[in-house]
Amino acid sequence: MASVPNQFSVEREKFKQCLQSDSVENARRALLYPLFQKLFKEKFKIENDAAGADVYIVGQLIVESKTEFKQWLDGLFQALHYHRKAGLAFHTIMVVAKEFVGIWKVNKLPEEAIKLSYKADVQKAASEVGKLLAKECSRELRVAIHESAFYWLEPKYLQGDIFGGARNLTTESFEILKILKNLDSDRFQINTHNFIHTIERMKAFFPTPIEAVHAFYTIVAFWDITSTVTINEEETEVTVTGFKGKKHSTAIPIHRNKIQDFIRFVETQYIFTNEGSGLTADYYFIRFDEVLAAIDAAYVKQHGIFFTNGNLSKYALWFAKNEVKEDLNENYIVFDPAAGSGNLVSSWRGKLKHKIVSELQPDLLRIIERRMKADPWHVEHGFTIVPRTASNEGLNFLDIDAATYLDRLEGEVKRNNILMDKPLAFLMNPPYKNTDENVTAREATNSEYSIHPSIL
Ligand SMILES: C[S@@+](CC[C@H](N)C(=O)[O-])C[C@H]1O[C@@H](n2cnc3c(N)ncnc32)[C@H](O)[C@@H]1O
């Protein structure tokens, strides 16, 4: 995988220019061809060999190039007409225009779209048919065709800055390359733009929203284009295996009646990660706060959760490194006793030997553990989660005295053969405890505890 971006860098760059180019269809083709030529070699056909289609990959793909985004539907119907008129065989259609790429699996297109394409006069030129059918297509069908796309990039996605969620053409060109390299894979992409919606859909498989969140974060690092689902003998748990059978998730409890739907859900999709642009599974964890707020707003409210946003975490660490003159990496064990989403503690990547992470809410602790286990840096440098997540408990760092607390930490850290031979450096965004609320509100959020007098 790591060699892919370099192998195709020249052709991918041309393809990117093709998507930026203002020139008309013909002029753009010179930028379009090289990527397909290199990927598909002798299967790559154009002009007469492609019955007039812009690019034709026998048995797999047809590509139509248009000048502007608004012609996308013309392009799609034009492509379908090549099948009828010239017998071209393909399972995937790609339409390309300025700042636009749409990719469809023919078998996932709405039936009405196929029916409409069969209404056209087979003798007519494909470009003419494309325009005619796009005009004839109802608004509903147009929307349905758009929604059935396997991949969709339109000009407005590229506007704004990338920190505000805008996509950029470099990342997208890597993604398109990945789809083209896996053309026979019939899967929908879950990416930075739609993953929260995916978790929303996963709620249907589990009794509570937080379980859907857990399920997503259990499988996110194993859910790629090759992923399959296995079921235990009792049919009470599922596991996701990815990376061509090489890595698998831990088990997720699920009701027997939901297993088939869950399998279809996982095996028709995959999570977008992109080594070329540095987007790893950790990205999905960084946005955990948004996920919880969207999927289980009640949970966030109940527990009074205020996560530390990813950028704020990075800023805080930069600040700490500048202000604290001592070498924290060498002389301390870094410890976050209230780790929340794990953003703050995960951002610390010095030459640390070991990190300790704790939290009051066991749900959060489980997700942090998965996050760190999915991250090669953390696996290599070592970390201890206190208490161990199997116990499904959190740890309160305010209601016991320091000696008892340190004892608990030491006990757990020993499991990893780590000696607590250095002082702890507390790295945290502390809990904001509102003692003006009434007791029942505090009980509901596990915050009805007394702070140990020795701490006060
Ligand atoms: C301000 S948030 C910290 C967020 C975290 N730094 C992050 O990166 O998302 C405070 C966290 O402290 C936890 N917490 C509250 N009271 C606690 C206690 N007594 N002991 C341990 N953790 C506690 C909350 O569950 C919450 O996740």
Q: Is the CB of 316 under 6 A from ligand 1?
A: no
Cβ atoms 79, 117 nearer than 8 A: no
Q: What confidence score (pLDDT) does residue 171 get? A: 79
Q: What confidence score (pLDDT) does residue 264 get? A: 81
Q: Is the CB of 364 under 6 A from ligand 1?
A: yes
Q: Is the CB of 359 under 6 A from ligand 1?
A: yes
The CA R_g of the chain, rounded to the nearest whole Å, is 26
Q: d(Cα 182, Cα 33) in Å, to the nearest integer?
A: 18
Report how far ligand 1's centroid is from the alpha carbon of 210 (Å): 18
Report how many helices (DSSP H) and strands (DSSP E) the chain contains, helices first. 21, 16
- Give per-10-residue mean pLDDT for the chain (456 aa): 64 94 81 96 91 94 95 98 94 96 93 96 95 97 90 87 67 86 84 89 90 96 95 97 95 94 88 84 92 88 82 91 86 93 90 90 94 93 94 93 94 90 91 68 66 89
Cβ atoms 220, 196 nearer than 8 A: no
Cβ atoms 368, 390 nearer than 8 A: no
Q: d(Cα 158, Cα 359) in Å, to the nearest integer?
A: 38
> Is residue 384 classed as helix, strand or coil in its secondary structure?
strand
The vertex-154 CA angle with 33 and 172, nearest 5°, equals 60
Report how far ligand 1's centroid is from the alpha carbon of 303 (Å): 10
Cβ atoms 306, 314 nearer than 8 A: no
- Kindly compute the dihedral angle of the four CA atoms of residues 134, 69, 57, 111, in this order, to the nearest 10 degrees: -40
**Token digits for 332?**
């301390």
Distances (CA, A) of 388 to 217, 220, 352, 358: 18, 21, 21, 9
Helices (H), 148-231: 169-181, 195-202, 209-219
Q: Is the CB of 338 under 6 A from ligand 1?
A: yes
Q: d(Cα 217, Cα 221) in Å, to the nearest integer?
A: 8
Q: What confidence score (pLDDT) does residue 4 get? A: 45
Cβ atoms 72, 97 nearer than 8 A: yes
Q: Is the CB of 397 under 6 A from ligand 1?
A: yes
**Cα within 13 Å of Cα(263), Cβ side:** 13
Cβ atoms 355, 371 nearer than 8 A: no
Q: Whose CA is nearest to atom 10 of ligand 1?
A: 431
Q: What confidence score (pLDDT) does residue 3 get? A: 42
Collect all residues with Cβ–Cβ distance below 8 Å to 223 and sequence separation of at least 6: 190, 240, 242, 266, 269, 270, 271
Q: What confidence score (pLDDT) does residue 101 get? A: 96
Report how far ligand 1's centroid is from the alpha carbon of 196 (Å): 23
φ/ψ of 103, rounded to 5, equals -125, 130
Q: d(Cα 52, Cα 127) in Å, to the nearest integer?
A: 9
Report how far ligand 1's centroid is from the alpha carbon of 42 (Å): 58
Q: Is the CB of 372 under 6 A from ligand 1?
A: no
- Most informative mutation of 314, 360, 428 for ligand 1 (most atoms within 8 A of CB): 360
- Most informative mutation of 286, 301, 305, 405 for ligand 1 (most atoms within 8 A of CB): 305
Report how far ligand 1's centroid is from the alpha carbon of 366 (Å): 14
Domains and CATH numbers, the chain: 4-184 (no CATH), 190-279 (no CATH), 310-444 (3.40.50)
φ/ψ of 188, rounded to 5, equals -95, 145
Collect all residues with Cβ–Cβ distance below 8 Å to 393 and sequence separation of at least 6: 362, 387
**Residue that is written with structure tokens 């450096």 in the block:** 425
Q: What confidence score (pLDDT) does residue 438 get? A: 65
Q: Is the CB of 341 under 6 A from ligand 1?
A: yes
> Is residue 321 classed as helix, strand or coil in its secondary structure?
helix
Task: Indicate the length of the chain as a whole number.
Answer: 456
Cβ atoms 46, 55 nearer than 8 A: yes
- If phi > 0 it is left, if psi is from -120 to 50 it is alpha, else beta; for residue 235 that is left
φ/ψ of 406, rounded to 5, equals -60, -35
Q: What confidence score (pLDDT) does residue 2 get? A: 41
**Residue that is written with structure tokens 């379009």 in the block:** 32
- Most informative mutation of 309, 335, 359 for ligand 1 (most atoms within 8 A of CB): 359
Report how far ligand 1's centroid is from the alpha carbon of 41 (Å): 55
Residue 239: other Cβ atoms inside 10 A: 17
**Cα within 13 Å of Cα(169), Cβ side:** 18
Q: Which atom of ligand 1 is nearest to the CA of 447?
A: 16
Distances (CA, A) of 452 to 339, 397, 399, 405, 410: 20, 9, 5, 11, 20
Q: Is the CB of 427 under 6 A from ligand 1?
A: no
Q: Is the CB of 361 under 6 A from ligand 1?
A: yes
**Residue that is written with structure tokens 């951002």 in the block:** 347
> Is residue 101 classed as helix, strand or coil in its secondary structure?
strand
Q: Whose CA is nearest to atom 17 of ligand 1?
A: 360
Cβ atoms 54, 78 nearer than 8 A: no
Q: Is the peptide bond before 387 cis (omega within 30 degrees of 0)?
A: yes
